């Protein structure tokens, strides 16, 4: 058994099992508990199927391994020394699990993706050799000389975790090539390990819990009895790739949007709502989506027209479809949308999302064979389009459309966004929400999404943003616990709508 720590590798010993650890961290504190080793030992002999390569679309960590990781984190958090006054009970987060899976699939022995690291904490572990359960990495994070693994694990406010594991072939680990490396990625939120801050407050357990826990305490941890948070059982519904919606093979049927909310007042209430009104919060739920659900053979010109016809969801198996593709890079409008995405390498045969940009008329289209799809040529003028990947970006409660997707020509696609939870908490730096259904680009995107009923404040989640033409006035209202403001004759800027990602 051989261990590597931090960023400086020790000499490799061939044919021995290796375990390496890596953390995105910066704060120092080590445990000091007489029962530490005994508490960890029970996790060393667990059985599991960590070595099994998971099919795409299935969870990249077994339910039992995930539960063991979560249980061990909470046990360690509840028994820190000195005792913690504000240590929060940790729950499993499927979105963090999803982001961990996406990074584990890269097989890169480094932290990432870079755009997400400002929003999350991350611990990494990798080994080869005999079977080891994922909790062996958690044990090493706690007891090794690199204390920043441990401080992220016991950072009081890092109350959510999601992990994934991947079997990587020929993985480059500090210059050495490991032929069969087992790679563990754990993402934490909110992010911990801030320079100059302690991981928790010392004191009597649960004596300094945030008010949102309502005084609840369990096993020395701030605890909220919320049935929506416990780890869910392994089901198809919480797999990475959701079950494919029923499709008519002849024609794609878009998912039916929920009814639009009733007409809204034109001005914000002049006084705070009563207790009854606050409980109701004028709840609105909006599941309208921006992405269009299509079949493998749907042509772009056959699909909807308008501003929402830019993001498409393709099914799996389009390599075996017969829809023609005309062109290379620039595709003629008679082309199959999904097969053009395959030809360009934007999606693979498992399907997925992609963005379409209309490019106007082109004089000719070139044929080529790429990624298993043969396109044909056309030597006459016709309207064209290009395809691109749907990028995903995690944002903060403060982010506005004016910052993220400023209006410009030619227009660019806004990335798919991930909003954190609890953006309604008082924060002087969070912009206001201006408008109803259509919002000023000076609004907080995430708070506007809660107001629109696209996401819930206590959960957060993914959204799509679509810039629209500037409005001469924006309507105020009170929805889902958010007051939006009215604005008349704004001097500049654009507007936007938010859509659900289901």
pLDDT digits (tens, 9 = 90+) for 253-307: 333 333 333 332 222 333 344 434 444 567 888 888 888 888 998 888 766 655 5
Distance CA 194, CA 186 (A): 18
Q: Is 87 helix (H, G, I), strand (E, B) or coil?
A: coil
Asked if residues 369 and 375 have their Cβ atoms less than 8 Å apart, the reply is yes
The partner residues of 332 in beta bridges, in order of sequence, read 384
Domain with CATH 3.40.33.10 in the chain: 59-222
**In the chain, helix, strand, coil percent, each to 5?**
20, 25, 55
Low-confidence ranges of the chain (pLDDT < 50): 1-19, 24-34, 36, 39-40, 42-58, 145-146, 228-279
User: What dihedral do alpha carbons 63, 59, 93, 110 form, nearest 10°?
Assistant: 110
Provide Rg for the chain, Cα atoms: 25
Distance CA 89, CA 153 (A): 12
Q: pLDDT value at position 214? A: 85
| CA atoms 479, 484, 486, 487: torsion sign | negative
Top-level CATH class of 392-500?
mainly beta
Give the C-alpha distances (Å, rounded to integers) separating 353 from 61, 326, 350, 415, 419.
24, 20, 10, 12, 19
Please, what's the largest Cα pairwise distance for the chain? 80
Residue whose C-alpha is closest to residue 415's, from 437, 385, 439, 445: 445
Q: pLDDT value at position 448? A: 95
Report the 10 Å Cβ neighbour count for 280.
12
Give the 3-state secondary structure of 404-457: HCCCCCCCCCCCEEEECCCCCCCCCCCCCCEEECEEECCCEHHHHHHHHCCCCC
Q: With residue 328 as reference, give the H or E element that holds it.
A: strand 327-328
Asked: is 292-389 a CATH 2.170.130.20 domain? The reply is: yes
Block residue for tokens 């000195």: 82
Domain with CATH 2.170.130.20 in the chain: 292-389, 392-500
Using a 10 angstrom Cβ sphere, with 0-12 exposed, 13-18 middle and 19 or more buried, the burial of residue 302 is: middle
Residue whose C-alpha is closest to residue 109's, from 98, 125, 128: 125
Asked if residues 398 and 431 have their Cβ atoms less than 8 Å apart, the reply is yes
Q: Is 500 helix (H, G, I), strand (E, B) or coil?
A: strand
Q: pLDDT value at position 49? A: 43
Give the C-alpha distances (Å, rounded to integers) separating 347 from 313, 337, 392, 444.
10, 11, 15, 31
Note if the pTM is more than 0.85: no
Q: What is the DSSP secondary-structure string of 232-267?
A: PP--GGGSSSPPPPP--SSS--PPPPPPPPPP--SS
Task: Give me the CATH topology for the region 59-222.
Answer: Pathogenesis-related Protein p14a (3.40.33)
Q: Is 387 helix (H, G, I), strand (E, B) or coil?
A: strand
């Amino acid at each position: 058994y051989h261990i590597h720590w931090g960023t400086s590798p020790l000499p490799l010993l061939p044919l021995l099992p290796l375990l390496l650890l890596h953390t995105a961290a910066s704060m120092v504190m080590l445990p000091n508990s007489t029962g530490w080793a005994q508490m960890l030992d029970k996790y060393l002999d667990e059985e599991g199927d960590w070595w099994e390569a998971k099919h795409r679309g299935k969870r990249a960590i077994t339910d039992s391994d995930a539960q063991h990781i979560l249980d061990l984190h909470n046990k360690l958090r509840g028994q820190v020394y000195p005792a913690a006054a504000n240590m929060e009970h940790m729950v499993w987060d499927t979105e963090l699990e999803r982001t961990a899976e996406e990074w584990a699939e890269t097989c890169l022995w480094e932290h990432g993706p870079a755009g997400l690291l400002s929003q999350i904490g991350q611990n990494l572990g990798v080994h080869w050799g005999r079977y080891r359960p994922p909790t062996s990495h958690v044990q090493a994070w706690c007891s090794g000389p690199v204390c920043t693994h441990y401080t992220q694990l016991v950072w009081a406010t890092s109350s959510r975790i999601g992990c994934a594991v991947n079997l990587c072939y020929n993985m480059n680990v500090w210059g050495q090539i490991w032929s069969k490396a087992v790679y563990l990625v754990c993402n934490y939120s909110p992010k911990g390990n801030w320079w100059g801050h302690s991981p928790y407050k010392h004191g009597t357990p649960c004596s300094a819990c945030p008010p949102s826990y309502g005084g609840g305490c369990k096993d020395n941890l701030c605890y909220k009895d919320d049935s929506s948070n416990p780890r869910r059982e392994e089901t198809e519904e919480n797999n990475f790739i959701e079950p494919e919606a029923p499709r008519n093979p002849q024609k794609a049927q878009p998912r039916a949007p929920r009814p639009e909310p009733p007409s809204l007042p034109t001005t914000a209430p002049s006084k705070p709502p009563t207790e009854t009104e606050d409980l109701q919060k004028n709840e609105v739920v909006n599941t309208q989506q921006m992405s269009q659900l299509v079949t493998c053979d749907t042509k772009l010109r056959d699909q909807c027209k308008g501003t929402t016809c830019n993001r498409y969801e393709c099914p799996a198996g389009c390599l075996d479809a017969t829809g023609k593709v005309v062109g290379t890079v620039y595709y003629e409008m008679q082309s199959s949308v999904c097969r053009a995405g395959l030809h360009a390498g934007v999606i693979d045969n498992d399907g997925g999302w992609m963005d379409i940009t209309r490019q106007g008329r082109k004089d000719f289209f070139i044929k080529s064979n790429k990624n298993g799809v043969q396109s044909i040529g056309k030597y006459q003028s016709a309207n064209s389009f290009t395809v691109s990947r749907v990028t995903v970006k995690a944002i903060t409660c403060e982010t506005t459309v004016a910052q993220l997707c400023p209006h410009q020509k030619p227009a660019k696609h806004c990335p798919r966004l991930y909003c954190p939870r609890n953006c309604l908490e008082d924060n002087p730096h969070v912009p206001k929400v201006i408008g109803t259904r259509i919002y000023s680009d000076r609004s907080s995107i995430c708070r506007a999404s809660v107001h629109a009923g696209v996401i819930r404040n206590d959960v957060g989640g993914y959204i799509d943003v679509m810039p629209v033409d500037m409005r001469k006035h924006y309507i105020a209202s009170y929805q889902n616990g958010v007051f939006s403001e009215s604005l008349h004759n704004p001097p500049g800027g654009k507007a936007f709508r938010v859509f659900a990602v289901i």
